[in-house]
């Protein structure tokens, strides 16, 4: 692959990753019932509403999970993979393989996002950060459903909370044991 193809690949990954991030964060903010008046949540709602409002008439919400946002994120993953395959090989992959690879990519995106959120939350607990910043309550609200069950099961050793470390370890293991085999399976189906 040439220099321009590599640059195009980086741009595709960045642009599509940002779009997927908007819809995934919108879905997560609704799922954890984040504060609607938080400026970050307001931004997420304003930018995704033009796409999600008409789509939600057809695709319902299931147990606080905005399936329309999840569907849009998955479709953007499919489009990203089509563009990357067309750029790299000049050939489009098989449809079933593309569907499975896009699912694996979306799960991986969610896991990496949660890995970053848990790490940021653990780091913020050690540093003195401005609690009035809108990012702090949003990150706390997003990681709490993941960390709360771990806190109940893990003993507090010397007042230290090891739940973020255990959560990050579980996320990394899930990437290796779930996402990689699923992506490889999709790649075999695609080619």
The enclosing H or E element of 61 equals strand 61-62
* Residue 90: predicted pLDDT: 76
* Residue 1: predicted pLDDT: 64
pLDDT surpasses 90 at 158: no
pLDDT surpasses 90 at 139: yes
Q: What is the extent of the structural domain holding 147?
A: 3-190
Model confidence pLDDT, tens digit, residues 13-39: 999 999 999 999 999 999 999 998 999
pTM, 2 dp: 0.91
pLDDT surpasses 90 at 132: no
* Residue 107: predicted pLDDT: 97
Long-range CB contacts (< 8 A, 24+ apart) of 93-97?
Answer: 93/190, 93/191, 94/189, 94/190, 94/191, 96/189, 96/190, 97/186, 97/187, 97/188, 97/189, 97/190, 97/191
Tally of domains within the chain: 1
């Amino acid at each position: 692959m040439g220099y321009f193809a590599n640059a195009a690949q980086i741009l595709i990954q960045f642009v599509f990753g940002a779009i997927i991030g908007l819809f995934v964060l919108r879905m997560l903010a609704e799922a954890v019932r984040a504060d609607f008046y938080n400026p970050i949540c307001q931004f997420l709602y304003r930018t995704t509403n033009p796409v999600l409002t008409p789509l939600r008439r057809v695709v319902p919400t299931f147990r606080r999970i905005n399936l329309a946002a999840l569907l849009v994120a998955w479709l953007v993953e499919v489009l990203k993979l089509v563009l990357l395959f067309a750029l790299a090989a000049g050939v489009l992959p098989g449809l079933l393989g593309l569907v499975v690879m896009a699912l694996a990519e979306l799960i991986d995106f969610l896991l990496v996002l949660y890995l970053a959120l848990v790490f940021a939350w653990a780091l913020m607990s050690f540093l003195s950060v401005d609690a009035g910043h809108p990012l702090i309550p949003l990150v706390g609200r997003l990681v709490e459903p993941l960390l709360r069950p771990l806190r109940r099961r893990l003993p507090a050793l010397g007042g230290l909370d090891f739940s973020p470390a255990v959560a990050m370890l579980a996320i990394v293991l899930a990437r290796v044991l779930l996402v990689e085999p699923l992506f490889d399976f999709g790649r075999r189906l695609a080619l």
